[in-house]
Chain A
Amino acid sequence: MSGVRVLVGTRKGAFILTSDGKREKWDVSGPHFAGWEMYHLKGSPSDPNRIYASQTSGWFGQIIQRSDDGGKTWHQPGTPPGEPVAPGPPKTASNKFAYDASAAPLTTHQWYDGTQHPWEFKRVWHLEPSLTDPDTVYAGVEDAALFRSTDGGENWKELPGLRGHGTGPKWQPGAGGMCLHTIILDPSSGSGEPQRMYIAISAAGAFRTDDGGASWKPINRGLYSQYIPDPRAEIGHCVHHVAMNPKRPGVLFMQKHWDVMRSDDAGENWKEISGNLPTDFGFVIDIHAHEPETIYVVPIKSDSEHFVPDGKLRVFRSRTGGNEWEALTKGLPQSNCYVNVLRDAMAVDSLDKCGIYFGTSGGQVYASADAGDSWNGIVHDLPGVLSIEVQTLG
């Protein structure tokens, strides 16, 4: 019997929503880690019971949590689950994210006022488990860098080639901080860990590696951003999210600060596909699991008014790979709605028909079991949603 498990990160805890393949009735568990900001939770593609979570707080810093039983119980990697450990030397460094300054000297980055500012670790925005090894997981962090653990999250090492690209002094924080928020692993680029990966940083842009993370190149040709001195600069674009259908690697879709973009050559060149969208500002973008030319965005009014336009919550779908968009409204509020949908707060399952899920800043999680034609609210009153991921269970 197939089913789905939706992993919801919110500003005040995590929630897990489960349903069978019909996706009509839902069980809700949580809050897990009540009171903490849960930036992201994601399950391992090779072991669905293995889930990683980023738990963070301005007071207490970064915590990594791991479940080995599908979210029923959690522990910090390296610390035995359950009761306190016996006295003795500390056994865990799962919350230690130390930049590898010996491999890539810590530069400064651009601050909001244009001055240079030291690089400082703040939190993990995104966790991307390996496609093949449950113990390998990548972490995108603020201030922007990419880390990897190969022991189930117990220890983390930076992949310093990205930060060492040399353009760090030109990177600058977006409104949410200077975060590495998108990690895409290309399944076609190696039998073990992929050689080709994509990442995106607000506000530096998108980068690609073809050698497993050793070296990186910016892939921002075709992006145009009026808020930087040279709108077509190689570095400095506020990329909000990037999506790739693993069945068609090399074709990428991007929601930039403003503009929806696509690339058909692994990010070498981008072209705008905003078409008839009511506004092309937004955060999320995702792709139908079985139709790689069917894409979804949630337009947001503007960068100064972070809510949906006209009081209407509308998902826009293009079946043509962009430019021609249709509003999907059935089951979504069409008056007096002023929520936002953040960059990691949309996901798709791989059932037939494809399920689409998203969460709002108002604490609603909506699901469509028919590729967006109609929507149902699974929950309505959670804390503001930061992230949504879905696991399709066999």
Chain B
Amino acid sequence: MIRVILPQHLRTLAHVGSEAELEVEAPITQRSVLDALEARYPMLRGAIRDHDTLQRRPFLRFFACEEDLSHESPDVTLPDAVASGKEPFIVIGAIAGG
């Protein structure tokens, strides 16, 4: 079970609580997790990644295991702790301004 933490506004859109739980087939990568997330919650399509290019929206970041994975290749395997469900994959809104 993969755990995904979404920003508050996307939780509201997707009608999910503090975490979304997903069954994802290996390999566990950013792409496979986000594909599964968007398949389960199609209202999130376009809100995290561009519809066509699947590029991360510029004001969003991806964190896991206290690492910023935003600039990793989407096909790099995520840490084992994410794959096992011990740690969540976190989608977070970048802070712009104060």
List chain A positions with a Cβ less than 8 A from chain B: 33-36, 57-63, 76, 78-79, 82-85, 87-93, 95-96, 98
Q: Which residues of B contact A57 (CB under 8 A)?
A: 9
Q: Which residues of A contact B59 (CB under 8 A)?
A: 58-59
Tell me, yes or no, whether B69 is within 8 Å of chain A by CB: no
The verdict on B64 contacting chain A, using a C-beta distance below 8 Å, is no
Q: Which of B41, B51, B60 is the one whose CB lies under 8 Å from A93?
A: B51
A316 to B10, CA, bound (A): 42
Check B51–A79 contact: CB distance below 8 A.
no
- The answer for the CA separation of A183 and B3 in the assembled complex, in Å, is 44
Q: Which residues of A contact B47 (CB under 8 A)?
A: 60-61, 63, 95
> Does the CB pair A36–B9 fall under 8 Å?
yes
Contact status of A60 and B45, CB under 8 A, knowing A87-B40, A93-B51: no
In the assembly, what is the distance between CA of A208 and CA of B80, in Å? 59
Q: Is the CB of A79 within 8 A of B42?
A: yes
In the complex, A82 Cα to B47 Cα: how many Å? 19
Query: Which secondary structure dominates where chain A touches chain B?
Result: loop
Cα–Cα, bound, A88→B39 (Å): 6
B62 → chain A closest CB, angstroms: 13
Give the distance to chain A from B12, nearest Cβ to Cβ, in Å.
8
Chain A contacts for B7, CB-based, 8 A: 59-60
For the complex, is B57 an interface residue (Cβ under 8 Å from A)?
yes
Instruction: Determine which residue in B8, B41, B52 has the highest number of CB atoms from chain A within 10 A of its CB, and name it.
Output: B41
Q: A96 to B13, alpha carbons, bound, how many Å? A: 16
With the chains together, A88 CA to B47 CA distance in Å?
18
Residues of B within 8 A of A61 (CB): 46-47, 57
Q: Which residues of B contact A (CB under 8 A)?
A: 7-10, 12-16, 38-43, 45-48, 51-52, 57, 59-60, 93-94, 96
Q: Closest CB-CB distance, A310 to chain B, in whole Å? A: 32
Q: Are A96 and B46 within 8 A (Cβ)?
A: yes
Contact present for A90 and B45 (CB under 8 Å): yes
A89 CA to B36 CA, complexed, in Å: 10
Given contacts A57-B9, A60-B9, A60-B10, contact A87 B15 (CB under 8 A): no
Q: Is the CB of B9 within 8 A of A85?
A: no
Chain B residues positioned under 8 Å from A33 (CB to CB): 12
11 CB contacts below 8 A, A to B, read A34-B12, A58-B96, A60-B47, A60-B48, A76-B13, A79-B42, A84-B16, A89-B39, A95-B47, A96-B45, A98-B51
State whether A35 and B43 are in contact (beta carbons under 8 Å apart), knowing that A84-B16, A98-B52 are contacts in the complex: no
Q: Which residue of A is nearest B35, CB measured?
A: A90
| Residues of the B chain whose Cβ atoms lie less than 8 Å from the Cβ of A87 | 39-40
With most chain B CB atoms within 10 A of its CB, the pick from A90, A91, A98 is A90
Cβ–Cβ < 8 Å partners of B13 in chain A:
60, 63, 76
* Contact across chains for A84 and B8 when beta carbons are under 8 A apart: no
Q: Which residue of B lies closest to A88 (CB)?
A: B39
Sorted nearest first, the 8 A-B pairs with minimum C-beta distance are A90-B42, A60-B47, A59-B59, A59-B93, A95-B46, A96-B51, A79-B43, A76-B43
Q: Which residue of A lies closest to B36 (CB)?
A: A87
* Nearest CB in chain A to that of B48: its residue: A60
Q: How far is the CA of A59 from the CA of B39 in the complex (A)?
A: 21
B14 touching A90 by the CB < 8 A rule? no
Set of chain A residues within 8 Å of B45, measured between Cβ atoms? 90, 92-93, 95-96
Q: Besides A58-B96, A59-B7, 8 other CB < 8 A contacts?
A: A33-B12, A60-B7, A76-B43, A78-B42, A90-B42, A92-B42, A96-B46, A98-B52
